[in-house]
Structure 1
Amino acid sequence: MQRITAKYYIETPYELEKAAQVLAGEQSSGTFVEVPGETAELKSRFAARVESIAPLETVTEPAIPGATSKTGKYQRAMIEVSWSIENFGYNLPVMISTLQGNLYELTQFTGLKLMDIELPDLYSEQFKGPKFGIEGCRKLTDVYNRPLIGTIIKPSIGMTPEQTAELVKTLVEAGIDFIKDDELLGSSANSPFDKRVDAVMRVINDHADKTGKKVMYAFNISDEIDEMKRNYQKIVRNGGTCAMISLNSVGISATRKICEIGELAIHGHRNGWGMMNRHPLLGIEFPAYQKLWRLAGVDQIHVNGIQNKFWESDDSVVRSIEACLKPILNGTTVLPVVSSGQWGGQAPETYRRTKTVDLLYMAGGGIMAHPMGPAGGVRALHQAWEAAVDGLSIEQAALKYPEFGKSVEKFDSK
Structure 2
Amino acid sequence: MPGIKYEDFLDLDYDPADSELVCDFRIEPAADMDMEAAAGRVASESSNGTWAELQVEGAVTDLSATACAIDESSGEIRVAYPDALFEDGNMAQVLSCIAGNILGMKAVERIRLLDCDWPEPLSTSFPGPQFGTSVREEIFDAGDRPITATVPKPKVGLSTDQHVTVGEEAWTGGLDLLKDDENLTDQDFNPFADRLTESLAARDRAEEETGETKSYLVNVTADTRRMLERVDMAAEQGCEYVMVDVVTTGWAAVQRVRERCEKHGIAIHAHRAMHAAFDRVPNHGVSMRVVAQIARLCGVDHIHTGTADLGKLENEDTAGINEWLYSDLHGLNDVLPMASGGLHPGLVPELVDRLGTNIGVQAGGGVHGHPDGTHAGAKALRAAVEAAASGEDIESKAEAVPELATALEKWGTETPR
Counterpart pick for 2:40 among 21, 24, 29: 21
Alignment of 1:269-280 (within 5 A): 269-280=271-282
Matching residue of 1:64: none
Asked whether 1:339 is paired with 2:337, we answer: no
Alignment of 1:222-301 (within 5 A): 222-261=221-260, 262=262, 263-301=265-303
Asked whether 1:161 is paired with 2:142, we answer: no
Looking at structure 1, the residues matched to 79 and 160 of structure 2 have their Cα atoms a distance apart, in angstroms, of: 51
Alignment of 1:137-216 (within 5 A): 137-209=136-208, 211-216=210-215
Alpha-carbon distance change, 334 to 223 in structure 1, aligned in 2, over 3 angstroms: same
Render the CA deviation track for 1:64-121: whole Å, top value 9, x for unaligned: xxxxxxxxxxxx5111101111111312111100010000111111111111111111
Looking at structure 2, the residues matched to 400 and 317 of structure 1 have their Cα atoms a distance apart, in angstroms, of: 32
Looking at structure 2, the residues matched to 403 and 87 of structure 1 have their Cα atoms a distance apart, in angstroms, of: 57
Matching residue of 1:3: 20
Kept in 2, the 8 Å contact 1:243–1:267? The answer is yes
Kept in 2, the 8 Å contact 1:3–1:120? The answer is yes
Kept in 1, the 8 Å contact 2:296–2:335? The answer is yes
Render the CA deviation track for 1:260-300: whole Å, top value 9, x for unaligned: 12122111111111111111111111221111111110111
Identity rate of aligned residues, in percent?
Answer: 27
Looking at structure 1, the residues matched to 191 and 332 of structure 2 have their Cα atoms a distance apart, in angstroms, of: 39
1:213 positional shift? 2.6
Matching residue of 1:103: 102
Kept in 2, the 8 Å contact 1:266–1:298? The answer is yes
Alpha-carbon distance change, 310 to 283 in structure 1, aligned in 2, over 3 angstroms: farther
TM-score (norm 1): 0.88
Kept in 1, the 8 Å contact 2:156–2:184? The answer is yes
Kept in 2, the 8 Å contact 1:398–1:404? The answer is yes
Counterpart of 2:26, as a letter, is Y
Counterpart pick for 2:49 among 30, 39, 53: 30
1:206 positional shift? 3.3
Matching residue of 1:407: 407
Structure 2 gap ranges (5+): 1-16
Alpha-carbon distance change, 296 to 191 in structure 1, aligned in 2, over 3 angstroms: same
Once the two structures are overlaid, the 10-residue window that deviates more, 130-139 or 394-403, is: 394-403
1:145 positional shift? 0.8
Looking at structure 2, the residues matched to 383 and 86 of structure 1 have their Cα atoms a distance apart, in angstroms, of: 52
Looking at structure 1, the residues matched to 366 and 281 of structure 2 have their Cα atoms a distance apart, in angstroms, of: 30
Render the CA deviation track for 1:348-403: whole Å, top value 9, x for unaligned: 2222223x211110011222222444343233223323443455665565557543
Aligned partner of residue 110 in structure 1, secondary structure: strand
Aligned partner of residue 76 in structure 2, secondary structure: strand
Kept in 1, the 8 Å contact 2:128–2:332? The answer is no
Counterpart pick for 1:54 among 71, 79, 88: 71
Render the CA deviation track for 1:32-73: whole Å, top value 9, x for unaligned: 12223265x311x100011211122xxxxxxxxxxxxxxxxx
1:311 positional shift? 4.5
1:131 positional shift? 0.3
Matching residue of 2:60: 42
Counterpart of 2:76, as a letter, is M
Alignment of 1:119-130 (within 5 A): 119-130=118-129
1:124 positional shift? 4.4
Looking at structure 1, the residues matched to 57 and 142 of structure 2 have their Cα atoms a distance apart, in angstroms, of: 57
Looking at structure 2, the residues matched to 209 and 399 of structure 1 have their Cα atoms a distance apart, in angstroms, of: 28
1:19 positional shift? 0.8
Looking at structure 1, the residues matched to 143 and 249 of structure 2 have their Cα atoms a distance apart, in angstroms, of: 32
Counterpart of 2:388, as a letter, is A
Counterpart of 1:42, as a letter, is V
Kept in 1, the 8 Å contact 2:155–2:184? The answer is yes
1:323 positional shift? 2.8
Counterpart of 1:362, as a letter, is Q
Name the count of aligned residue pairs.
391
Kept in 2, the 8 Å contact 1:306–1:346? The answer is no
Looking at structure 1, the residues matched to 406 and 164 of structure 2 have their Cα atoms a distance apart, in angstroms, of: 27
1:342 positional shift? 0.2
Aligned partner of residue 305 in structure 2, secondary structure: strand
Aligned partner of residue 96 in structure 1, secondary structure: helix
1:303 positional shift? 1.2
Render the CA deviation track for 1:327-359: whole Å, top value 9, x for unaligned: 3241521111111110122222222223x2111
Alpha-carbon distance change, 400 to 29 in structure 1, aligned in 2, over 3 angstroms: same
Looking at structure 1, the residues matched to 393 and 169 of structure 2 have their Cα atoms a distance apart, in angstroms, of: 30
Kept in 2, the 8 Å contact 1:137–1:265? The answer is no
Looking at structure 2, the residues matched to 9 and 141 of structure 1 have their Cα atoms a distance apart, in angstroms, of: 41
Kept in 2, the 8 Å contact 1:377–1:407? The answer is yes
Kept in 2, the 8 Å contact 1:221–1:244? The answer is yes
Matching residue of 1:70: none
Looking at structure 2, the residues matched to 343 and 413 of structure 1 have their Cα atoms a distance apart, in angstroms, of: 8
Kept in 2, the 8 Å contact 1:149–1:378? The answer is no
Instruction: Note the aligned Cα RMSD (angstroms).
Output: 2.1
Kept in 1, the 8 Å contact 2:347–2:413? The answer is no
1:164 positional shift? 1.6
Looking at structure 1, the residues matched to 384 and 191 of structure 2 have their Cα atoms a distance apart, in angstroms, of: 37
Aligned partner of residue 327 in structure 1, secondary structure: coil
TM-score (norm 2): 0.88
Aligned partner of residue 75 in structure 2, secondary structure: strand
Looking at structure 2, the residues matched to 297 and 406 of structure 1 have their Cα atoms a distance apart, in angstroms, of: 40
Matching residue of 1:93: 92
Render the CA deviation track for 1:163-188: whole Å, top value 9, x for unaligned: 22222221222121011111111100
Kept in 1, the 8 Å contact 2:174–2:382? The answer is no
Once the two structures are overlaid, the 10-residue window that deviates more, 12-21 or 223-232, is: 12-21
